A and B are shown apart, each in its own frame.
Chain A
Amino acid sequence: MSAAITTNAIDEVFARLKESGETALIPFMTMGDPDLETSVALVQAAEAAGAHMIELGIPYSDPLADGPVIQRASERALKNRISLTDCIGVASKAREKGVRMPFIIFTYFNPALQLGLERFFGLLQENGFSGAIIPDLPMEEDAETKEIADRHGIHLIPLVAPTSEARVERIASRASGFVYCVSSLGVTGERSSFHEGIGAFLATVRKAASVPICVGFGISSREQAESLAGQCDGVIVGSAIVRKVEESLPLLIADDADRKAEGIAAVRDFIAALKPQRVG
């Protein structure tokens, strides 16, 4: 089974974007906020808005890399006792509805560990995932996880931070999928400015990486996305979208189908407006 995996959908998307000179737009959404069915619709909306791939966030009780916006989304989802396997199910339902972009799971380590790493990556593979991001699993601890992920054809996407310094080389050189560059010190959340050395930082990562590099943490506008577009292969937008979902909650949870559709369209339009225009 494992030997049959030769291509990964993430690699294919980046190859295509390279040809067209575009920067990937990668939204993040917390699954189960406000409920699983709405999550499926929001994933569809993201693709309709022009997203190239998507991070599906697993709600967690102790999201220590996340700022208040994503913490609140986690709390809302956990009120409905949403599990990791429920969230994985969102991906397969979205596929059934015709979504084609690659799926990347974003989860803290413990839920995956408790499910069992073999089972976790097995389920990701069966449900059409291409990548996994585990923010509290640094390279010192990821040997077993990476081996299992590789075997299931899932890219374990590493994070590098402005504080990584000498670690950048080691992290980037063994990365698969892409390297997730954290734009600034701190947790997830919108920011008006990035780490001052961001240009030099991205250049360092670029030099060390043999895979694409994407920037996330704090991007909340098209202007910001465009300012980074020339220096990276993709931008990840999380809190700003999750906040838009939060603002649209009264519509999203409405029984009335029209109102609900209005809420989903609001999130879709917001994502579409983030998309960096082609540079050069």
Chain B
Amino acid sequence: MMQVPDQHGRFGPFGGKYVPETLMNALIELEDAYNRYKDDPDFLAEVRYLLKQYSGRPTPLYYAERLSRHVGGPKIYLKREDLNHTGAHKINNTIGQAVLAKRMGKKKVIAETGAGQHGVASATVAALMGLECKVFMGEEDTKRQQLNVFRMKLLGAEVIPVMSGTRTLKDACNETLRYWVSNVNDTYYILGSATGPHPYPMMVRDFQRVIGLETRDQILEAEGRLPDAIIAAVGGGSNAIGMFHPFVGDAGVKLIGVEAAGRGVDTEEHAATMTKGRPGVFQGSMSYVLQDEGGQVLPAHSISAGLDYPGIGPEHSYLKDIKRAEYVPITDAEALEALKLLSRTEGIIPALESAHAVAQALKTGRSMKQDEILVINLSGRGDKDVESILKYEAEAEGGHQQ
């Protein structure tokens, strides 16, 4: 298989650097710095130390026996990214990028956030390393995720509500890029998913690969073989690519990305980029995008703020087109059912994002044999979502009564 990305940041036809000229040198500087440090023993040692002693890695690969029995198919394992410091996989990436920012001599960092998880993870590492931090968050999301807004403030970050466009993650990304254009000389942009212009999709993937690398060792130790299928939720695609990447060369391991179908892929309220989108240029790279005929980007919808995004990382687009991974939609309602099921069978409340992966595992698992192995990437924990779930249920209740 071809090594991707190539030197232009291309994953096949996807990826690249489609940004205003003002940012080009900043991206080139970032790429140079990353290439200089990515194999540097001191840099890697610092990242590894923080992942272990600060975030608590390695995260367990837990055999979910009761869930497995409930499904009645394969042995289901959960990669417990929810047990990371700050409650999701996002910290793997922010630790890597913050250590890089420090080496580059930057004292200020900015980040975009949807669910608030990446914002919290950025605010956390900024506090840890004494960096000034601004987080851009859609005004709609600041309402959906008040707890995370408060957390970021406690951590000393400034949260800037974004009032433009759809007031969700997509516009938070635009606003972060706009701010970066104006302050590019002294500010490092910690991008939170495997999206955006090169080198971000590659760099974020590399920092998230620790998920897949650990899983590989852990499943070999537990079962003496690789899993038959791996399932992960896909917003921009960082937890999924981190999990998938070390297995891409293993043809026997099925890779399944789960995107948010919201109220259904046949409605206008979903975030099913792969199912309903087509290739285009959005926020710095060529990839699948939810867009209308004229190339205007469409608003996305999902019960989970972290999947509520009309784009997806270029490497996923590539894996889809070469048919190495498949991407399937799960609705709000299915995700919520799965969240409750996992909570009751295993005592683990997953993030709404991760619940999409659990819901797909119920479907995929049904057609798998008992001696097969299925791994779910449990990207985060559900504490942050309790309020949205309450609200969703109240609305559904109201809907029934009408």
- On A, residues with C-beta under 8 Å from B are 60-65, 67-68, 71, 75, 78, 83-84, 109-115, 135-138, 140-141, 158-165, 167, 171, 182, 185-187
Contacts and interface: CB of A to CB of B under 8 A. Distances in A.
A141 B289 CA distance: 19
B18 A78 contact: no
Interface stretch (B180-188, B218-226, B233-241, B368-376): B180-188
B14 interface: no
A194 to B, nearest CB: 13
B17 A186 contact: no
B35 interface: no
A185 B164 contact: no
B295 A141 contact: no
B281 A78 contact: no
Chain B interface main SS type: mixed
User: 4 shortest A-B CB distances, which residue pairs?
Assistant: A114-B295, A186-B182, A111-B295, A161-B22
Given A113-B281, A159-B21, A141 B182 contact: no
B275 interface: no
Given A62-B174, A114-B291, A159-B21, A186 B181 contact: yes
Interface in B135-183: 164-165, 170-171, 174, 177-178, 181-183
B296 A61 contact: yes
Contacts of B289: 110
Interface string B273-304: 00000001111100001010111111000000
Interface string B309-338: 000000000000000000000000000000
B294 A114 contact: yes
B50 interface: no
A86 to B, nearest CB: 9
B20 interface: yes
Residue in A61, A65, A136, A171 whose Cβ sees the most chain B Cβ within 10 Å: A61
B26 interface: yes
B16 interface: yes
Interface in B1-52: 8, 16-26
A110 B22 contact: no
Contacts of A63: 174
B280 A164 contact: no
Interface of B: 8, 16-26, 164-165, 170-171, 174, 177-178, 181-185, 280-284, 289, 291, 293-298
Contacts of B294: 83-84, 111, 114-115
Contacts of A186: 22, 178, 181-182
Contact of A68 (B17, B164, B282, B295): B164
A115 B26 CA distance: 31
Contacts of B24: 138, 140, 163-164, 167
Given A137-B18, A167-B24, A110 B281 contact: yes
A138 B19 contact: yes
B327 to A, nearest CB: 21
Given A61-B165, A64-B174, A136 B19 contact: yes
Given A60-B296, A61-B296, A110 B181 contact: no
Contacts of A113: 280-281, 295
B164 A141 contact: no
A140 B21 contact: no
Nearest to A83: B294
A185 B295 contact: no
A137 B18 CA distance: 5
B25 A163 contact: yes
Most B C-beta atoms less than 10 A away, residue of A62, A115, A163, A186: A62
A202 to B, nearest CB: 15
Contacts of B18: 109, 136-138, 141
A170 to B, nearest CB: 11
A172 to B, nearest CB: 12
Contacts of A83: 294
A75 B174 CA distance: 15
Contacts of A109: 18, 281
A167 B20 CA distance: 13
Given A61-B296, A64-B174, 11 more contacts: A62-B170, A62-B174, A62-B297, A67-B178, A109-B18, A111-B295, A114-B280, A135-B20, A140-B24, A163-B21, A163-B25
B283 A64 contact: yes
A35 to B, nearest CB: 17
A65 B20 contact: yes
